[in-house]
Structure 1
Amino acid sequence: MSSGTTTQRTISYASSGVDIQAGDRAVEALKPSIRKTTRPEVVGGIGGFAGLFALDTEKYKKPLLASSTDGVGTKLVIAQKLDIHDTVGIDLVAMVVDDLVVCGAEPLFLLDYIATGQVVPEKIADIGAGIADGCRYAGCSLIGGEIAEHPGVMKADDYDISATGVGVVEADKLLGPERVKPGDVVIAMRASGVHSNGFSLVREALFGVGGMDLGTVIPEFATADRNQRTLGEELMTPTYIYAKDCLELIKECDVHAFAHITGGGIAGNLVRSVPEELQIEIDRSTWTPNPVFDVVQRAGSISEEEMERTFNMGIGMVAIVAPDQVDRSLAVLTARHVEAWTIGEIAAGDGGVKLTGSYQKAG
């Protein structure tokens, strides 16, 4: 039996993979971006245990608070492969605030959550700057959040992001199915691309089945500003944020409902905004889907039914308005540089969504 002594290794939080100082540096790096999102109602600054926001009781007499939580999903895989992190925050904000505005709520503030295998302050600052940009586009404040380091659970370069947003709507101005009537018209607003849904199918179709590369130049993706755009550039196009456009539409026109076209596609989301006893009739021939959808469909040999069940097919938001409000609604959206057009109407029927016609072809 040995009579010697054994020296036990001393461990610490840092040796287990968590760098508190790196987290502090990341927060400091984020503060300038966060300050740019501040609204007058924000009380205090970043760094407290809770974010504080004073509701404007002069503006809202019978306020209803609306809340929404979401993430970006596997679009983050593309961001990590390209080492581009300053736009996924915009995607995150879009997914949250555009759910809020569907009921007529003005987005007020947002709290984010960033989980990563290793905190790299510069990367966290890029992600946070994108979240702050999204908040500015939506007109809401970023009032707090959390940066969590998960060594041993996540790879060092991996991260995930989510956020919760809160908005407010006057009780008697709440939008939704109960306002929708037969004869109402459905107006579409153009999507900026795939947005932030369906990326598991996108990746399988393009890279698994199609054998494509993120650096591949796709002729169909050329724009007036760029003669050549890669597959990676197209997939990383930030989700367009419709919140301010929808709020302006509510202010100027008789809007009955909105539908945010995310996972589940056009039919799956529209049906949530219309009474069960009414039928939604949509004419595919009224628009051409963004080129990226044709590229994905061809690469993966995906059926039209599966495409429509998964993707937005070129429409990011839908407004349902009274028949006499169509011209005014289109004018308001056009003035705000939103491509918009009528795609169908609400009719008496057996409920559900009826899609007719065929999509227009590009060119």
Structure 2
Amino acid sequence: MSEKRSTTYRDAGVDIDQGNAFVQGIKSIVGATHQRGVLNELGGFASFFSIDKNSYTNPVLVSSTDGVGTKLAVAIRCRKHDTIGIDLVAMCVNDIVVSGAKPLYFLDYFAVGKLEPEVGIEIIKGIAEGCRQAKCALVGGETAEMPGLYRAGDYDLAGFVTGIVDRDDIIDGSDIKVGNKIIGLASNGLHANGYSLVRKICFDDLGLEVTDFVGPLGVTLGEELLRPTRIYVQPVLNVIKNFKINGMVHNTGGGFYDNVPRVLPNGCKAVINRSAWPTPPIFAFLAEQGGVAEAEMFRTFNMGIGFMVIVDERSLNDVLHQFTALGERPYYIGEVASCADGEPPVELIG
């Protein structure tokens, strides 16, 4: 009678050896993002980061977590995975720089049904590039292989960032007052918001493929939809060194109508001149082809403005000039006005 073969974890779809090899394969990619403060290499149970106490009087740690949403489905559809990690980092670091915080370190969570090392390495390369742009260290993460939970080829990503700011330097919008001016920094297109609606319009309703060239966009649909989210960290931190900033907004999910009110004090509203900046063609394409009303567009998408900075009137031109010198495309898009009880906190004009 033959002896029954022992069942292994690999038989159930999880290859521990391949996972270990994957970690070894990305060590150099991750290590290239390390900077002063990182105390250990990838592979331990936890990561260590030392705070430079001489640089801060009363340091406060600032943290955020986010994902990429269904933009992942577009990356999978395009079979292009080397930029989606930039989006992941951007969605996290742009959130904490709103408060004036400098990102210190980043961790990722990569979940997949069956690990394909080549795909995984491309994803990590994108995450490392995002960390390079934000000047923060990729110190670790988790790769979870979960057969039966994800379909073949599918994966999910989440990111976690920790930053630092002196308590007295926290920017929380409390200094915003009537008469302040609003500067908008140009987006790179859709960034990583509204993709469930985008996919419904483009794939379900119009029947387009990612390889289709779309005349109004000047590129293939896949190229347009995979433009990575802009990372505003370094330009913003540079401006903060020289000018007083009263408030900032990362214009992500919820668009203008949901994000701007998050920093406005009671009694204030934002009056946005919608004709003050050029809107990338993708937004007109979606509105026209999908029959999406303007209010819905401004609540779902960034409409060409990925980040907002609120300053005193006397600083407006100087801040605009510095952002331009730093390679950004800034626009004077509106101002802060008084808001009566019951009045909407965001008003679009123009």
How far off its partner does 1:9 sit?
5.5
TM-score after normalising by structure 1: 0.93
What is the CA-CA distance between 1:253 and the residue it aligns to? 1.2
What SS is found at the alignment partner of 2:54? coil
Deviation at 1:221, TM superposition (A): 2.4
Unpaired stretches in structure 1, ≥5 consecutive residues: 223-228, 358-363
CA contact (8 A) 2:173 2:248 kept: no
User: Separation in 1 of the partners of 2:224 and 2:19?
Assistant: 32
Deviation, 1:122, is: 1.1
Answer yes or no: is the 8 Å Cα contact 1:192–1:238 preserved in 2.
yes
Structure 1 equivalent of residue 148 of structure 2? 152
1:292 and 1:29 mapped to 2: Cα distance? Answer: 37
CA distance in 1, matches of 2:242, 2:217: 35
Letter of the 1:16 partner, please give it: A
Question: Quick check: 1:26–1:120 contact (8 Å CA) kept in 2?
Answer: no
CA distance in 2, matches of 1:355, 1:276: 19
1:168-202 deviation per Cα after TM superposition (whole angstroms, max 9, x unaligned):
11110100121111111000000001000110000
**1:212-255 deviations in whole A, cap 9, x for unaligned?**
22111122323xxxxxx101101001101001111011112111
1:353 to 341, 346, 349: 346
Please, which moves more after superposition, 187-196 or 246-255? Answer: 246-255
Partner of 1:360: none
Match of 2:62 in 1: 66
In 2, the alpha carbon distance for the partners of 1:124 and 1:183 equals 49
Q: What is residue 204 of structure 2 aligned with on the other side?
A: 208
What is the TM-score of this pair, normalised by structure 2? 0.97
Cα pair 1:176 1:274 within 8 Å, conserved: no
Aligned residue pair count:
347
Provide structure 2 residue ranges, at least 5 long, that are not aligned to the other structure: none
Q: Which residue of 2 aligns with 1:287?
A: 277
Out of 326, 329, 332, the residue aligned to residue 336 of structure 1 is 326
What's the offset of the Cα at 1:90? 0.1
Aligned-partner residue type, residue 151 of structure 2? K
Q: In structure 1, what is the equivalent of residue 231 of structure 2? A: 241
Give the corresponding residue for 1:361.
Answer: none
**Deviation of 1:7 (Å):** 6.6
Q: Distance in 2 between matches of 1:8 and 1:353?
A: 70
1:127 aligns with 2:123: yes
Query: Secondary structure of the residue that 2:55 maps to in structure 1?
Result: coil
1:34, 1:302 → 2: CA distance? Answer: 42
1:123: Cα distance to partner?
A: 0.8
How many angstroms apart in 1 are the aligned matches of 2:266 and 2:3?
Answer: 72
In the TM superposition, what is the alpha-carbon distance from 1:292 to its structure 2 partner? 0.6
Aligned to 1:230: 220
AA matched with 1:353: V
Q: Which residue is equivalent to 1:85?
A: 81
Q: What's 1:115 paired with?
A: 111
Task: Tell whether 2:303 aligns with 1:313.
Answer: yes
Match of 1:262 in 2: 252
One-letter amino acid of the structure 2 residue matched with residue 19 of structure 1: D
Amino acid across the alignment from 2:231: I
Instruction: Give the RMSD, CA atoms, in angstroms.
Output: 1.3
Q: Take 2:257 and 2:102, find their aligned partners in 1: how far apart are those partners?
A: 25
Partner of 1:277: 267
The ranges of structure 1 where at least 4 consecutive aligned residues each deviate by more than 3 angstroms after the TM superposition are 5-9
User: Which residue of structure 2 lines up, in the alignment, with residue 225 of structure 1?
Assistant: none
Q: Percent of aligned positions with the same letter in both sequences?
A: 41
Hey, what does 1:46 align to over in structure 2? Answer: 42
> In structure 2, what is the Cα distance between the partners aligned to 1:300 and 1:239?
23
The residue aligned with 2:138 is 142
Structure-2 separation of matches of 1:9 and 1:302: 59
Deviations 1:126-149 (A, max 9, x none): 000100000000010000100000
Give the letter aligned to residue 300 of structure 2. T
